[in-house]
Amino acid sequence: MPSARPREPRYRPYCAACNRPLTDVERQRGRCSVAGHRESTCWEFRVELTAPGGQRRQVRRHTDGSGRRLATKADAVRAAAELVGVGPLDRSKVTLRRWLTTWLDEGCGGVDPNTVYGYRRAVGRIVRSPVADVPLSRLSRGHVETLVAWMATPGVREDGKPGGYARTTINSTVIALRAALGAALDRDPPLVPANVAAARPGRRRDALVRKVSSGVGPLWTQAHLQRFLDSSRVRGDIRLYAFYRSLFATGARVSEHLGLAWDGGVGADCRVLSYRQAWTAADQERALALANPGQVAGSGPRRSARRVKPEHVSFSEELKTPDSVRDVDVDSGTACALRELRESQRFVRGGQNVGLVFAQRDGRPYSYKTEAKRFDALCHAAGVPRIGFHGLRRTNATLLEEARVPTFVIERRLGHTSRSVTGRRYIDLTPAMRRVAVEALTRIIDGPLLDDLGGGLAGNVSGAVSS
């Protein structure tokens, strides 16, 4: 066996039956395109070893030392480490930076690609912080608080924008750190004595890593919504009007809405929208990487999205939760706007058509970041508060609750798995709701007894008196 002076191993998906690596399109799908070869899809690693005499040779393997196929990237990382003699990580020498890099290479515990994309962005912020080179075994709660304080400091953003990171960004970064330290704690032997980024015992929510709950950030009233939709820039462009009206009418996540397709996603009369796929930031990064091969995200000239072709585009077929796969009814005005949009697209679609409802004039998918900036600009032009796409989703839930729509109906329309999530984080208490509560109390205290077929309040009172 040559001595272990290896370069960094490289990993790629592989088909053992075809004896070849997967193509770019197959990588996006996560399996070989040949019929019957789905179970043969695995991972391959390549590593360069140097012999004592200086001769180098490249080793390529898709099985471990016992001959088992490398089913996941994490298996490939462990097999490569065993081959070059790295062995288990030395707890006393592993820094936070090195562990986060290893954790990303191992696939972050097998979570979905969109979660990995968010974790990768969070790790990029952590490795720039003052705590990146702290030994993992010495990491404490104070280091996590130092990370939070550093992220809130003006001038630390990698994009050069003034001020520090937003609280939502800090929160997501700490959550990613908590997941990474949890994986380190699950190692045998553990790399950390405790998960210092986790919530403290006995507390449902920790002040350091609490979720952003309802009431954070502004919401729109009915007047704000109508003013925005009736503004000249929105009402004058059917693409914008249909997009924002249907986005509010459904309360959908913007990734789900950007992935909505005419075929199978919109009914014949445009009264029902079916959410089955999403166009996420991770999907966009994959498409840009295929359109601009050899260029790493965030380095060199800005990657051009105009090179994206239909074969580069692939959608996430697994939505955020199982209940996110749903059919949502819309009002007649929204259906009319969608039909008008469909008619207008028949004359402008070019060779880039991928069948999306909301796409650019040449048929390419919208960019999430570009649309988020455009939404802020349209809010400013219309004179309404900037609430972001998620704020529009919360506005939908709150106004429906204000209109006395049952909470379980709102939950199903939003695609939530729990009614408590809808009530606690999406529905805010509005002045109209307060007035309804006060009027109900007035009727209960000073009004006549409510006597219905089931007995009602009068039946309960008489039962209590007789007992």
pLDDT for position 244: 96
pLDDT for position 400: 93
**From 1.10.3720.10, 3.40.50.2000, 1.10.443.10, 3.40.640.10, which CATH number describes the 222-298+305-394 domain?**
1.10.443.10
- What is the pTM for the complete model shown? 0.67
DSSP E strands in 155-279: the ranges are 272-275
Identify the residue with better confidence: 463 or 395. 395
State both tokens at 180: 């990474």
pLDDT for position 309: 66
Q: Which of 48-57, 165-174, 194-203 has the lowest mean pLDDT?
A: 48-57
User: Per residue in 69-103, pLDDT tens?
Assistant: 888 888 888 787 776 654 455 566 788 998 898 88
pLDDT for position 23: 81
Identify the residue with better confidence: 263 or 65. 263
Percent of the chain with pLDDT over 90: 28
* pLDDT tier for residue 354 given thresholds of 50, 70 and 90: low
Q: Which of 154-158, 180-184, 343-347, 413-417 has the lowest mean pLDDT?
A: 343-347
- Average pLDDT on 365-377 reads 88
State both tokens at 21: 């690596």
- Average pLDDT on 398-403 reads 92
Question: Quick check: 278 and 260 in contact, CB under 8 A?
Answer: no
Which residues lie below 8 Å from residue 265, measured CB to CB, with a gap of 6+?
273, 274, 275, 276, 277, 357
pLDDT for position 134: 92
- 211: pLDDT strictly greater than 60: no
Number of neighbours of residue 68 by Cβ within 10 angstroms: 11
* pLDDT tier for residue 383 given thresholds of 50, 70 and 90: very high
State both tokens at 386: 């900037």
Backbone φ and ψ for 56, nearest 5 degrees, come out as -105, 150
- Mind giving me the DSSP string for 51-110? -TTS-EEEEEESB-TTS-B--SHHHHHHHHHHHHT--S--TTT-BHHHHHHHHHHTTTTT
- Average pLDDT on 360-379 reads 86
Question: Quick check: 449 and 461 in contact, CB under 8 A?
Answer: yes
- Average pLDDT on 295-324 reads 63
**Mean pLDDT computed over every residue of the chain:** 79
